[in-house]
Structure 1
Amino acid sequence: MNLLSLFSGCGGMDIGFEGNFKCLKKEINMKMHPDWIIDDDGTWVTVAPTKFDTVFANDIRPDAKAAWVSYFLSQKKHANEIYHLDSIVDLVKKANEGENVFPKEIDIVTGGFPCQDFSIAGKRLGFNSKRNHLGTAIEKDEPSIESRGQLYMWMREVISLTEPQLFIAENVKGLTNLKDVKDVIEHDFSQACNGGYLVVPAKVLYAPDFGVPQSRERVLFFGLKRSALRPEAEAALSLEVIPDEYDPYPTKTHGIDGQPLTTCRDAFVGLDEPEISTDLSQKKYSRAKYMGTHCQGQTEVKMEAVGPTIRSEHHGNIEYRRLSAEHGGKHTDELAAGLSERRLTVRECARIQTFPDDYQFILKKTKDNASVSASDAYKIIGNAVPCVLAYNIAKNIEKKWDKYFKGKNEKDQK
Structure 2
Amino acid sequence: MVKKEITVGSLYAGVGGICLGFKNSGFKLEWANEIDKNACITYRANFEHNLHEADIWALDPNELPKVDVLTAGFPCQPFSVAGYRKGFTDERGNHFFRIVDYINALGKPKVVFLENVKNLKGHDKGKTFRIIEEAMNANGYSFQAAVLNTKDFGNVPQNRERIYMVCFRDEEDGTNLYKDHFNFPEPIKLKKEISDILSSDKIDEKFYYREDKYMFPKLQEEMVNKNTIYQWRRQYTRENKSNVCPTLTANMGTGGHNVPLVLTNTGIRKLIPKECFLFQGYPENFVLPSTVSNAQLYKQAGNSVTVPVIERIAASIMNAINLGESEE
Report the TM range for the smaller structure's normalisation: 0.7 to 0.9
Report SS of the residue matched to 2:18.
Answer: helix
Output the CA distance in 1 between the equivalents of 2:105 and 2:236: 42
Instruction: Establish whether residue 348 from structure 1 lines up as the match of residue 316 from structure 2.
Output: no
Supply the RMSD in Å over aligned alpha carbons.
3.0
Task: State the AA in 2 paired with 1:101.
Answer: E
Alignment partner of 1:55 is 2:2? no
Question: Is the 2:194–2:245 Cα contact (8 Å) retained in structure 1?
Answer: yes
The residue correspondences of 1:11-410 to structure 2 (distance < 5 A) are: 11-19=16-24, 50-72=25-47, 76=48, 79=49, 82-91=50-59, 94-95=60-61, 100-104=62-66, 106-115=67-76, 126-127=78-79, 145=91, 147=93, 150-162=94-106, 163-178=108-123, 179-180=125-126, 181-191=128-138, 195-200=139-144, 202-210=145-153, 211-227=155-171, 231=175, 233=177, 237=180, 246-254=181-189, 260-268=190-198, 271-275=200-204, 285=207, 293-295=232-234, 299=238, 305-315=243-253, 316-317=255-256, 318-322=258-262, 331=263, 334=264, 337=265, 339-364=266-291, 372-405=292-325, 410=328
Distance verdict in 2 for CA 1:197–1:7, change over 3 Å: same
Q: 5+ residue gaps in structure 2?
A: 1-5, 81-89, 219-231
Cα deviation for residue 321 of structure 1 reads 2.9
- For 1:173, the aligned partner's letter is K
SS of 1:14's partner is: helix
Q: Alpha-carbon deviation of 1:248?
A: 3.4
The answer to whether the Cα contact below 8 Å between 1:113 and 1:171 also exists between their aligned partners in 2 is yes
SS of the residue 1:396 aligns to: helix
| Aligned residues of 2:8 and 2:28 also touching (Cα < 8 A) | yes
Give the match's secondary structure for 2:143: strand
Instruction: Quote how far apart the aligned CAs of 1:88 are.
Output: 1.3
Which deviations, in whole Å up to 9, do the C-alpha atoms of 1:45-79 show, x marking residues without a partner? Answer: xxxxx33111110111011110011011xxx3xx3
What TM-score, normalized by structure 1, do the two folds share? 0.63
Q: In structure 2, what is the Cα distance between the partners aligned to 1:297 and 1:189?
A: 46
Structure 1 pair 405–152 and aligned structure 2 pair: CA distance change class (3 A): farther
Identify unmatched segments of 5+ residues in structure 1: 20-49, 118-125, 129-143, 238-245, 255-259, 276-282, 323-330, 365-371
Secondary structure in structure 2 of the residue aligned to 1:187: helix
Quote the Cα distance in structure 1 between the aligned partners of 2:243 and 2:288. 25
Secondary structure of the residue aligned to 2:38 is helix
Q: 1:342 to 1:167 in 2, by over 3 A?
A: same
Aligned pair in 2 of structure 1 residues 11, 379: CA closer, same or farther (>3 Å)? same
Deviation, structure 1 residue 320: 3.2
Residues 127 and 396 (structure 1), Cα distance of their counterparts in 2 relative to 1, 3 Å cut? same
2:22 partner SS: helix
Q: 1:298 to 1:15 in 2, by over 3 A?
A: farther
Deviation track 1:128-154 (CA, whole Å, cap 9, x = no partner) reads: 8xxxxxxxxxxxxxxx8454xx20111
CA distance 1:225–1:158, change in 2 (3 Å): same
Cα offset, 1:261, TM superposition: 4.3
Q: Cα–Cα, structure 1 residues 229 and 342, in superposed 2: closer, same or farther, change >3 Å?
A: farther
> Aligned partner of 1:5: which letter?
S
- Matched residue type, 1:209: D
- How many residues align? The count is 291
For 1:305, what is the secondary structure of its paired residue? coil
Kindly, what percent of the aligned residue pairs are identical? 27
